[in-house]
Amino acid sequence: MLTTCFFVAAALAARVHSHRFDPSAYAAEDVIERDFAIIGGGAAGTYAAISLADQNKTFTVVEVTDRLGGHTRTFRDEATGASIDIGVQLHENIPVVRDFFKRLNSPLAPFQPADFGNPKYYDFTKKVALTNYTRPTIEGDYVAMLSKYPFLDDLNNLPDNVPKELLLTWPEFAAKQNLSSGSAEAGLWWPATPGNPLDATALAIFNDGNHVELAEYTGAAVRSATHYNSQIYDNALAELKEHVLLKSSIIAAQRGSSRKDGVRLVANTPSGRKLIKAKQLIIAMPPVLDNAKYFALDQKERSILSKLSGKHYYAGVMNNTGLEAGVAYTNVGQNTPHHVASLPGVVEIAGSASPGYFFYWYNSVDPQTQEEIEEATRSTIKWLQSESGAKAVEPTFQDFADYSPFHLSPPTSDIANGWYGKMKGLQGYRNTWYISSLFVVGSTQIWNNTRNILPEIIDAARC
Ligand SMILES: Cc1cc2nc3c(=O)[nH]c(=O)nc-3n(C[C@H](O)[C@H](O)[C@H](O)COP(=O)(O)OP(=O)(O)OC[C@H]3O[C@@H](n4cnc5c(N)ncnc54)[C@H](O)[C@@H]3O)c2cc1C
């Protein structure tokens, strides 16, 4: 009897579940039929959407927050005219960047490192000013080493047989390769790098600090002319708004194994549940299991994606700090290996082009709350005020961003076992494509890679 009840319940549950993918169970306006479903509206998703729009393809973007842009975030105060980029700051000055900004009517200007202010160094943990310290710059031996492994710029090209030395931690690698102390230290200085840099592999350091990053920091970088890097995303949203579901997420999926099956997705949206029928699915959100588990993963997909995890990184904007304009207050370890700053803590408090406003970046191995981060940042500012003889004022926190999960990667042992090749092998599998930051770190490279893979994705939708 019990067994019969179980089978009846299971059959009912299966019917209820398959019902979710049946268009006749929805009002006509709640069924969205498109060529492509794009999940995530950050750098990758927005670039894909605009490119598809320009090729007269149909699509829906499903974005969990109330805006497009992802890691690109600009604090704007219409009353004061302040505009401060707190996430993405700059891009390489290459055609894919210039074309995208032009397409979205957002003017560019050359980026100068001094845009962040002139660096002054402190150990924020020990509360010491390091007046004699100067940050080293990358030397020729770093560049030579990077060039020796040309696949490091884009891990799509990583061989399955990964050179073992690249899986050493950066300090181990630097010691083994006799890197100059300047390069060994500067390799750990790439901006907005989450986690403990001393634990990062050489592979991760070079993938982040690659030829694009080097070019950007040696003069070939651009930024929004009005310090409004989010303008491209705001303009994209204004143009595409009827094709974008904000504050929405996917709660169930059916993905066929043949191209003619396409995909069916159930989305929770502010205007109720929608059924999305698409020929191809484009994943442009971080595909960590917490996000990807709603996409009916099979065993093969689950075994690959379950290895991914991201790190924690935070940022914010404040004014009324009492700090000196034009200075980038930079955290450095006084006596730590390679002068790495202690964690958790403020990485940098940098000036902006809007008078009185500073943005800060904050790094922590473990997750922290906004309250904890703002309290720690306030305490650092109070110490800087006393250290510099500035007036003791209370900083006002104006904006906050949590960029976790950031810098996704599998464990080192899985990299050694060909994880990147397996991940690449998922492209197109069960009508699903992955374009978010996995193989490359910066938005410039994400746009390049998305542009390169889109013809294949479009071709898959032809069947
Ligand atoms: C502080 C900081 C500074 C940076 N500076 C630069 C820089 O100067 N230059 C540069 O090139 N790069 C920079 N980067 C890196 C850059 O941000 C990333 O390369 C890029 O944003 C990654 O693009 P993405 O589309 O993969 O991810 P994101 O931009 O993070 O977009 C992912 C999107 O998916 C959405 N999402 C997440 N989960 C779901 C879900 N379940 N359902 C639907 N949507 C979901 C998110 O809300 C987000 O909008 C910086 C990053 C940080 C954190």
pLDDT tens for 262-311 read: 999 999 999 999 999 999 999 999 999 999 999 999 999 999 999 999 99
Substitution candidate for ligand 1 out of 60, 234, 248, 285 with most atoms within 8 A of CB? 285
pLDDT at 382: 97
Per-residue model confidence (pLDDT) at position 114: 76
Band (pLDDT 50/70/90 cuts) for residue 15 is low
Residue with tokens 């504050």: 247
What would the pLDDT profile of 388-408 be if each residue is shown by its tens digit?
988 899 999 999 999 999 999
Q: Which atom of ligand 1 is nearest to the CA of 445?
A: 11
pLDDT score for 437: 97
User: Model's pTM, two decimal places?
Assistant: 0.95
Ligand 1: distance of its center to the CA of 10 in Å?
Answer: 40
Report CA(268)–ligand 1 centroid distance (Å).
22
Supply the residue whose CA is at minimum distance from atom 40 of ligand 1.
Answer: 64
CA of 17 from ligand 1 middle (Å) equals 32
Burial 289-301 (b: 16+ CB within 10 A, else e): eebbebbebeeeb
pLDDT digit string, tens, across residues 411-429:
999 999 999 999 999 999 9
Element (H, E) at 420: helix 419-425
Tell me: pLDDT of 1 over 80.
no
Does the pLDDT value for residue 2 go beyond 50? no
How many angstroms does the Cα of residue 446 sit away from the middle of ligand 1? 10
In the predicted model, is pLDDT for residue 17 greater than 70?
Answer: no
pLDDT exceeds cutoff 80 at 3: no
CA dist., res. 159 & res. 206, Å (int): 15
The matching CATH number, chosen from 3.30.2000, 2.60.40, 1.10.10, 3.90.660, for 74-156+177-190+216-225+310-407 is: 3.90.660
CA–centroid distance, 358 to ligand 1, in Å, is: 21
pLDDT tens digit string along 365-376? 999 999 999 999
Domain boundaries, the chain: 74-156+177-190+216-225+310-407
| Mean pLDDT on 431-448 | 97
**pLDDT value at position 347?**
97
Question: pLDDT tens digits, residue range 87-103?
Answer: 999 999 999 999 999 99
Confidence of residue 16 (pLDDT cuts 50, 70, 90): low
How many whole angstroms from 443 Cα to the centroid of ligand 1?
Answer: 8
Task: Kindly report, residue by residue over 209-266, the tens digit of the pLDDT.
Answer: 999 989 888 878 999 999 999 999 999 999 999 999 999 999 999 999 999 999 999 9
432-434 and 272-283 as β-strands: parallel, antiparallel, unpaired? parallel
Percentage of the chain exceeding pLDDT 70: 96
Q: Which atom of ligand 1 is nearest to the CA of 194?
A: 53
User: Measuring from atom 4 of ligand 1, which residue has the nearest CA?
Assistant: 88
Which residue's CA lies nearest to atom 7 of ligand 1?
Answer: 88
Please report, for residues 178, 307, 358, 388, the alpha-carbon distance to residue 168 in angstroms, rounded to integers and kept in the order given. Answer: 14, 19, 36, 40
Q: Which of 71, 193, 276, 348 to mutate to test the pocket of ligand 1 (most atoms within 8 A of CB)?
A: 71
Please give the distance, rounded to the nearest whole angstrom, from the Cα atom of residue 400 to the centre of ligand 1: 15
Which of 59, 63, 29, 17 has the alpha carbon at shortest distance from 43?
Answer: 63
- Chain-wide mean pLDDT for the chain? 94
Mean pLDDT of the region 327-343: 96
Which residue has a Cα nearest atom 38 of ligand 1? Answer: 285
Q: Which residues line ligand 1 (CB under 6 A)?
A: 39-45, 62-65, 70-71, 87-91, 192, 249, 284-286, 291, 313, 315, 361, 403, 406, 436-437, 441-444, 446
Go through 84-119 and write b for each residue having 16 or more CB atoms within 10 A of its CB, e for each that does not: bbbbbbbbbbbebbeebbebbebebeebeeebbbeb
SS (H, E, C) 56-93: CCCEEEECCCCCCCCCCCEEEECCCCEEEECCCCCEEC
**Rounded distance between C-alpha atoms, residue 163 and residue 201, angstroms:** 12
The mean pLDDT of 132-154, rounded to a whole number, is 95
Q: Where are the beta strands (DSSP E) in 332-385?
A: 345-351, 358-364
The pLDDT value recorded for residue 330 is 96
SS3 state of residue 328: strand
Instruction: Return d(Cα 402, Cα 382) in angstroms, integer.
Output: 23
Q: What would you report as the CA-atom Rg of the chain, rounded to the nearest whole angstrom?
A: 24
CA 460 to ligand 1 centroid distance, Å? 26
Whether 435 contacts 453, CB under 8 Å: yes
